[in-house]
């Protein structure tokens, strides 16, 4: 693994996005969102995802020129059409709009249809928290998980993000509804490691810790088995309804053609009726209470969601952003 300065990663991505035809402010935002994902330890939706994004922009699945447009407005609630533009720029714009609505109304809800993969979902949680807002957003995806009891992939892993602003470090949960992503399974397989907990079924239908067996069966587990399966269905339904967009069964199951997704972005003022005495301290107390829990194994420590992101970010900014050399050279070789 190579380490490079954040500014180099950002500059290279910016160069490529400008070359693809993104207007400068949009290219800057896009480069920042991709580079920050790698900076925060989510290379799967940062540098490592960048080549597929470039490919989708070149093939026209992602329309480089398209900007999202508001197609319905009702006070705190809006509906936007992503016009199949860049998924991360669309998502950023819609969370920005939800934040603006929340400043006016206490909360804002923007439902987005016809968009592309939002890349790192956590970005929009951090964005809301940086603005002092609670952020809540989710997306549907192509069918990539079997519903509970089924063999076939017919629900999405529909990532869900919830963020709470906090001076000492925002609390940000960013989770797909599969126990392990396909990328995660591949990483365990390449390291020749077993999963820490059962992650799916083997081809004979038995629960297994073996990542290769799950890749073979195509049956990863939803979190909480039947519970995550139900949650995925409800997130898909609500996103498609509120946005007037497509549901998982209407979305191409080809990862290179996955498009026209539906998403929901909600921002909420954490103190909607004025600062209640001690609300900031309350958040710290909740975190301290969880931190101080006796660990299951001596010497272990308990993390809150988002805590390790900050540790990774700090380390990567100091020591350089880790990049897979092959991908980095591939991106450097793109025409400007």
Which residues, 138 to 157, sit near its own copies by CB under 8 A?
146-152, 154-155
Smallest gap from Cβ 229 to its own copies, in A, equals: 9
Nearest to 169 by CA among 53, 309, 6, 37: 309
Residue 16 pairs in a beta bridge with: none
Does 293 sit near its own copies (CB under 8 A)? Answer: yes
DSSP-assigned letter for residue 92: H
Does 236 sit near its own copies (CB under 8 A)? Answer: yes
For its own copies, give the closer residue by CB, 186 or 223: 223
Does 301 sit near its own copies (CB under 8 A)? Answer: yes
Close Cβ partners of 144 (under 8 Å, ≥ 6 residues apart): 153, 155, 156, 157, 178, 182, 253
**Known catalytic residue: 45?**
yes
For its own copies, give the closer residue by CB, 169 or 230: 230
Does 76 sit near its own copies (CB under 8 A)? Answer: yes
Smallest gap from Cβ 14 to its own copies, in A, equals: 33
Of 45, 170, 256, 291, catalytic: 45
- Determine how β-strand 200-201 pairs with β-strand 207-208: antiparallel
Among 18, 83, 131, 175, binds its own copies (CB under 8 A): 175
For its own copies, give the closer residue by CB, 19 or 230: 230
Q: 221 near 144, Cβ under 8 Å?
A: no
- Determine how β-strand 321-323 pairs with β-strand 160-164: unpaired
Walk across the sheet containing 160-164 and list its strands: 69-74, 77-81, 107-115, 261-268, 134-139, 160-164, 171-175
Show contacts with its own copies in window 103-132 (CB under 8 A): 105-107, 109
Nearest to 91 by CA among 143, 34, 164: 34
Among 297, 299, 333, 336, binds its own copies (CB under 8 A): 297
For its own copies, give the closer residue by CB, 225 or 334: 225
Active site residues per annotation? 45
């Amino acid at each position: 693994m190579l380490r490079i300065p954040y500014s180099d990663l950002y500059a290279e991505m910016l160069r490529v996005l400008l070359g693809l035809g993104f207007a400068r402010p949009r290219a800057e935002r896009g480069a920042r969102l991709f580079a920050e994902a790698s900076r925060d330890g989510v290379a799967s939706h940062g540098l490592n995802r960048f080549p597929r994004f470039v490919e989708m922009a070149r093939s026209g699945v992602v329309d480089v020129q398209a900007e999202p447009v508001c197609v319905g407005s009702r006070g705190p609630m809006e509906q936007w059409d992503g016009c199949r533009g860049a998924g991360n720029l669309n998502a950023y714009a819609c969370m920005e709009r939800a934040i603006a609505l929340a400043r006016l109304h206490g909360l804002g809800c923007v439902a987005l249809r016809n968009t592309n993969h939002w890349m790192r979902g956590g970005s929009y949680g951090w964005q809301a928290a940086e603005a002092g807002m609670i952020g809540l957003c989710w997306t549907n995806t192509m069918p990539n998980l079997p519903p509970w009891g089924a063999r076939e992939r017919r629900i999405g892993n529909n990532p869900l993000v919830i963020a709470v602003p906090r001076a000492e470090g925002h609390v940000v949960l960013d989770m797909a509804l599969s126990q392990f992503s396909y990328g995660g399974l591949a990483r365990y397989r390449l390291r020749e490691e077993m999963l820490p907990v059962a992650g799916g079924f083997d081809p004979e239908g038995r629960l297994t810790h073996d990542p290769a067996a799950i890749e073979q069966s195509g049956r990863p587990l939803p979190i909480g088995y039947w519970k995550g399966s139900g949650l995925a269905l409800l997130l898909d339904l609500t996103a498609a309804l509120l946005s007037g967009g497509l549901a998982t069964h209407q979305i191409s199951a080809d990862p290179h053609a996955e498009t026209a997704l539906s998403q929901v972005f909600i921002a909420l003022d954490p103190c909607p009726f004025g600062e209640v005495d001690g609300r900031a301290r309350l958040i710290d107390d909740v975190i301290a209470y969880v931190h101080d829990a006796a660990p299951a194994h001596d010497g272990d420590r308990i993390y809150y969601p988002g805590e390790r992101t900050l540790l990774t970010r700090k380390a990567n900014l100091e020591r350089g952003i880790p990049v897979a050399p092959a991908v980095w050279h591939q991106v450097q070789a793109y025409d400007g």
